[in-house]
A and B are shown apart, each in its own frame.
Chain A
Amino acid sequence: MSMNREGRPTRPEAGEGTKTDTFTGNRALMLEEPLIFELKEEEGTGVDFADAPQVESRLGGLERNRSIGIPGLSEPQTVRHYTRLSRQNYAIDLGLFPLGSCTMKHNPRLNEKVARMPGFADIHPLQPTDTVQGALGLIHMLGEWLIRLTGMHSVAMSPKAGAHGELCGLLAIRAALEARGDAREVILVPESAHGTNPATAAFAGYRVESIPANERGRVDTEALKERLGPDVAAVMITNPNTCGLFEPDMIEISEAVHAAGGLVYCDGANFNAIVGRVRPGDLGIDAMHINLHKTFSTPHGGGGPGSGPVVFSEALTPFAPLPFVEQQGEHFALIEEETAGEHHGQGFGRMTAFHGQMGMFTRAMAYILSHGADGLRQVSGDAVLNANYILRQLEDVLDAPFGDSGPCMHEALFSDCGFQGGLSTLDLAKGLIDEGYHPMTMYFPLVVHGAMLVEPTETESKEALDQFIGALRSVAERAKAGDQTLKAAPVHAPRRRLDETLAARKPVLVYKEPERAQAAE
């Protein structure tokens, strides 16, 4: 054994093997963490307060008379709790996150810095508008960029996320149709659409009908044209679509819908593929939402907040929601209910309490200014190049159902065709976790069996792509060879596969102290 002079071993000995059980259940840097309710300090707190002045209470006899049951932790305990939890998450900061249709690109830290400037973060939505001219100016500036990048006529900034933007677009369409006394009942949605599309259409009071895809992964244009008629309010179409392909008939489709008296909604979730190269306004689109948390790099935050501004054609502009910002000379006005009457009387109303996701606008603006018109064009070019590189490097080992129909856009679609031994897309995905990757989107779009939708984004280097391709190839080969060890994957993650059936059958949605849980049974 090698030792230094104090007797401390300086070289590992050939070990006895791997003993995995530990006293704590921890595995070195992989630390188990209890719930805050189990760490509980009923009377603990991590915040100090000044003494309250002595006054006569004016609570009208509504004083709380029972405990809330929320534990408090000191600052060191709190920091440690959440830091430990954070380490059980995969994230873009750790590696490639190829979740198709989610555009998990790098989140620049300049965005975070700008969003936290007190001039943006510490202002109230109901301050007099002449005290927030910089904020209104920023909303207007971002809106102008979005209008120019999409070739559209106007923009509604208030929608809170993509699905909220879809709702905004459909309500404007409905308001426009009602204004011309043309009540229509049906929205056509391709079968490959995101689930939010039919859900939004139903939420807006429409009946949804599905349009099939053709064998090339595109909307069946003839079937769509055949279905058009006086009852069809709009077509909701995703372009580039959820198979990662551009709809080459888009202009023809728009013209046919317009000729039949309907309007065209475009789901802009995949705008990252075409930003700076193709303007939806040139494709006959009437309304499209833009996910700032996809194309424009605002962080996904473990599931939001997002932001879903909607751009409109000239035909829909009068029906856009309130409030919005309007430049009047040097001044930026906030057009709300009281001033809308003068020149925006047909607007369909308010969608949210205030003016939209300001904290996301500042981040998106920082991103857009950083890239500029030239950089954004490079963004879509690199995003599409990266996806095609993955598609072509893997199509010999993974079935690419539409690989023969030409280049893909920003994401590559594969199927589970050829997997042996009962192995599925899920098994492959869990195998990728052991390789150190977040899996791709699984089982979506529904038009492909065992779909795997891989979106690398433009913020990956060639070396990162090559390593990912190697890992995916290795796992795919195991799936095709029927390697049953994949069924046990992941084995290196903080948790093995979780029992989703149990979770749904006996839902436990809040913590109950053991004594309370027992009493309830």
Chain B
Amino acid sequence: MRYLPLAEADRQAMLRAIGSNSVEDLFVDVPEGARLSGKIEGLADHATELSVERQLGTLARRNLVAGEVPFFLGCGAYRHHIPASVDHLIQRGEFLTSYTPYQPEIAQGTLQALFEFQTQVARLYGCDVANASMYDGSTACWEAIVMARRIKRRGKTVISAGLHPHYVGVAQTMARFTGDVLDVALPELTDGAPGDDADRLLAAIDGETSAVVVQYPNILGHVRDLSEIAERAHAAGALLIAVVTEPVALGLIRSPGEMGADIVVGEGQAIGVGLNFGGPYVGLFACKEKFVRQMPGRLCGETVDADGKRGFVLTLSTREQHIRREKATSNICTNSGLCALAFSVHMTLLGEKGLRQLAELNHAKAVAAAERLSKVPGVELVSGPFLNEFTLRLRKEARPVVRAMVDRGVLGGVSLGRLYPGAEALRNGLVVAVTETVTNEDVEALAGALEETLA
């Protein structure tokens, strides 16, 4: 077996050395009835590398690959071009096959990369500090809500209707058990401002509110200034949590931190990570410096070694589960290190200049696509301001339209029926994401497919 170096002679020699007759004897503590005498029945035996590759390749070919068709899906996961060097670098064994840097003297590579990552994320979000990553955007969002509750000692969270419904779902799951009160609503297809419920949020903030949660750009692609919400939240003694699911947007529009957000969290997948059918992704988490001791997750900090040389270590670990146990700020242990590295490498390649160009290109293509698609009979553009994702109102229910467009070889967006099953007022909504990977031909293919399926 190719992954097992021990030869049978080694096993015998080692058994002799430890004074045992067989490997089975080493399992003497297992109650006899629970000890299997042979391999588990009904499962396949070992297979060659060639055979495994073939089996799994067969499954892989049963999926419609985004890169092979005109592709317009977003809503929390975005398809961007990733430079070849990103994947090459994260596959270096020293990164890929190392672990959490518990021994900093021999993990400076990971630690320095994390320190750079934290700085990139904090600056992108317009915050003072960022952590070394969370599982994904949705769990980062819930952790931010928990953190705000801890800081404010209040139990109510006001959540914008523009927050990704799956993020809301995660928060609702947790709130059911923790007793937090969540004030949530369904988005509306308001012309010029879909999913924007600032008035509702402002009215809902009260003396019991620990935080207001707003997604930027929101689930329907809409962007709005968060300053007023931040001011009103602060006036009521609450925090503003901003959620960013498309970090590329921040290359062009103002950061949530600049507009007064206290905690900014989000999904980093769009930069460096890829679609991967939903995971693994990388949760980004940043906040104002004064809240740092209430943050969840790992933090990397600068220090010096015994010779006075600069180095990096995991720090403020008295917040964490392995020290604080049941009093920890979170139960998180493993985070999303390699995805954070991919994000950071891609961001280093982009730099501010490249990120701005990327965002401009996304925006320009999206605006052009929105104009083209809104000329299709039966299609109306709902969106006002947006970055690279916008909402259309179709003459028909959008979900079957998306399905019918697949038969025409187009993955044409995310229907609101998929995201909000049963919500009648949203059923004709279609969210279309346009990134730099989309060509004019792709947009024409989508326009043609929409025209045919709506006819």
Contact = CB atoms under 8 A, between A and B. Distances in A.
B236 interface: no
Interface string A224-254: 0000000000000000000001111011000
Contacts of A251: 31, 33-34
Given A131-B406, A379-B4, A508 B35 contact: no
Contacts of B191: none
Interface string A55-88: 1111111111111111111010011011101111
* From B49, B167, B351, B411, residue with most partner A Cβ within 10 Å: B351
B15 interface: yes
15 contacts: A99-B102, A118-B60, A131-B63, A134-B58, A135-B63, A138-B56, A161-B334, A202-B326, A279-B40, A306-B334, A352-B279, A407-B25, A495-B305, A509-B122, A511-B116
A304 to B, nearest CB: 4
B378 interface: no
A71 B348 contact: yes
Sorted nearest first, the 4 A-B pairs with minimum C-beta distance are A72-B351, A354-B278, A60-B385, A119-B60
A52 to B, nearest CB: 4
Given A279-B36, A406-B29, A511-B115, A114 B105 contact: no
A299 B89 CA distance: 15
Contact of B14 (A128, A278, A462): A462
B87 to A, nearest CB: 8
A461 B105 CA distance: 26
Given A82-B92, A352-B170, 6 more contacts: A47-B83, A119-B65, A128-B403, A199-B326, A407-B20, A462-B13
B193 to A, nearest CB: 9
Given A55-B364, A507-B316, A70 B331 contact: no
B311 A45 contact: no
A208 B327 CA distance: 10
A362 B275 contact: no
B253 A59 contact: yes
B5 A366 contact: no
A515 interface: no
A171 B276 CA distance: 27
A93 B36 contact: no
Interface string A82-116: 11011111111110010100101111101011101
A203 B113 CA distance: 30
Given A71-B351, A72-B351, A274 B30 contact: yes
Interface in B73-118: 73, 75-77, 79, 83, 85, 87-110, 112-113, 115-116, 118
Interface residues of B, number: 214
B246 interface: no
Interface in B354-391: 354-358, 360-361, 363-365, 367-368, 370-371, 383-387
Contacts of B18: 388-389, 391-392, 407
B248 interface: no
Nearest to B361: A52
Interface in B131-146: 132-133, 135-139
B118 A305 contact: no
Contact of A45 (B112, B166, B323, B350): B350
B34 A279 contact: yes
Interface in A263-309: 274, 276-279, 282-283, 293, 297, 299-307
B335 to A, nearest CB: 5
A166 interface: yes
Interface stretch (A11-19, A31-39, A413-421, A476-484): A31-39
A55 to B, nearest CB: 4
A504 B301 contact: yes
A124 interface: yes
A195 interface: yes
A304 B334 contact: yes
A187 B186 CA distance: 36
B269 to A, nearest CB: 10
Contacts of A44: 351, 353
Given A90-B107, A246-B29, A373-B44, A127 B254 contact: no
B424 interface: no
A203 B326 CA distance: 8
B215 to A, nearest CB: 12
A18 to B, nearest CB: 16
B292 to A, nearest CB: 7
Contact of B11 (A60, A61, A161, A385): A385
Contacts of B100: 300, 302-303
B26 A430 contact: no
Interface in B414-455: 414, 418-419, 421-422, 436
A79 B55 CA distance: 34
Given A82-B113, A248-B30, A509 B6 contact: no
B223 A60 contact: yes
A299 B43 contact: no
Interface stretch (B153-161, B172-180, B197-205, B206-214): B172-180
A122 interface: yes
A503 B36 contact: no
**Residue from A37, A79, A366, A503 with most neighbouring chain B CB atoms (10 Å):** A503
Most chain A Cβ neighbours within 10 Å, of B103, B313, B387: B103
Among B59, B71, B79, B107, max chain A CB count under 10 A is at B59
Nearest to A269: B333
A210 to B, nearest CB: 9
Given A131-B63, A371-B3, A392-B19, A78 B328 contact: no
A123 B64 contact: yes
Given A60-B224, A134-B63, A171-B173, A301 B338 contact: yes
Contacts of B98: 89-92, 300-302
A483 B133 CA distance: 40
Interface stretch (A2-10, A310-318, A343-351): A343-351
A367 B270 CA distance: 28
Interface in B7-46: 10-11, 13-15, 17-20, 23, 25-31, 33-36, 38-46
Contacts of A53: 364-365, 368
Interface string A331-373: 0000011100000000011111111111110100110011111
A145 B137 contact: no
A174 B129 CA distance: 35
A349 B40 contact: no
A459 B3 contact: yes
B294 interface: no
Contacts of A58: 363, 367, 370, 383-386
B344 to A, nearest CB: 9
Given A124-B411, A299-B338, A351-B170, A36 B63 contact: no
Given A46-B351, A126-B418, A338-B421, A90 B5 contact: no
A52 B274 CA distance: 23
B66 interface: yes
B99 A300 contact: yes
Given A117-B57, A122-B67, A504 B277 contact: no
A34 to B, nearest CB: 9
Interface in A355-412: 355-360, 362, 365-366, 369-379, 381-382, 384-386, 388-389, 391-393, 406-407
A106 B93 CA distance: 11
Nearest to B303: A503
A50 B358 CA distance: 9
A99 B103 CA distance: 11
Given A64-B253, A134-B62, A305-B280, A461 B301 contact: no
Q: Which of B40, B104, B254 has the most CB of A within 10 A?
A: B40
